Structure 1
Amino acid sequence: MLRVPSKSTLSYQNKNRSWELFRDYYYVLLKGLGQQAHFKRTNFKISSKIFLLDATTINLCLSLFDWAKYKTKKGAIKMHTLLDYDGYLPAYVNITDGKTADNK
């Protein structure tokens, strides 16, 4: 019977796991799936590469992340992502404070 790992176990693993693991895993996925995704697409008559831009606000607990001041009692960061339309994978990610406007 499978058991769900406890929160403390997951927390410890995430705290002590090297970030290089996620970087390497991303590149494995990019190589394997990057240009091979077979999704239904709209045919564009554009010869240049297409990128999609998204900005997402991620709410954070201000008492834990005091550096992420967004409003008086709220914390947040903003993740600006540039997606490659061909593979639906991020080509660029920029993380800023929550107050940064999307057009910046």
Structure 2
Amino acid sequence: MSMQRWRWSLLMVVFTASSPELVSGSPSEEAPAGEAAFARVCAACHGANGEGDQAPPIVPLVYMEDQVAVVVRGGQGEMPPIPKAALSDAELTAIVAYLSKRTNE
């Protein structure tokens, strides 16, 4: 991934994390925390349902929360690291729970 594309991706993550009300298609306030956080931070690349789009599919979720945290916080391949300012540890936990539930449906 080029440096410019990486910076743009990180900027989009931080922007949407700080201004979720500006992103069209954001889940309502009624949505579970994991679903809302996933839609805000992950769906742009991994697809609305985690089926993959610009990034690989992440449903079914086959990783443990600590493994997901390593990739999310450190980045991997073309995925930039996502800082706690853009996605809190509680939101990350909620996303893993949401994806695990979707995997088991």
TM-score, normalised to structure 2's length?
A: 0.29
- Please identify the structure whose Cα radius of gyration is greater: 1
Greater RCO, 1 or 2 (C-alpha within 8 Å, sep 6+): 2
TM-score, normalised to structure 1's length?
A: 0.29
- Select the structure that is richer in strand: 1
- Select the structure that is richer in helix: 2
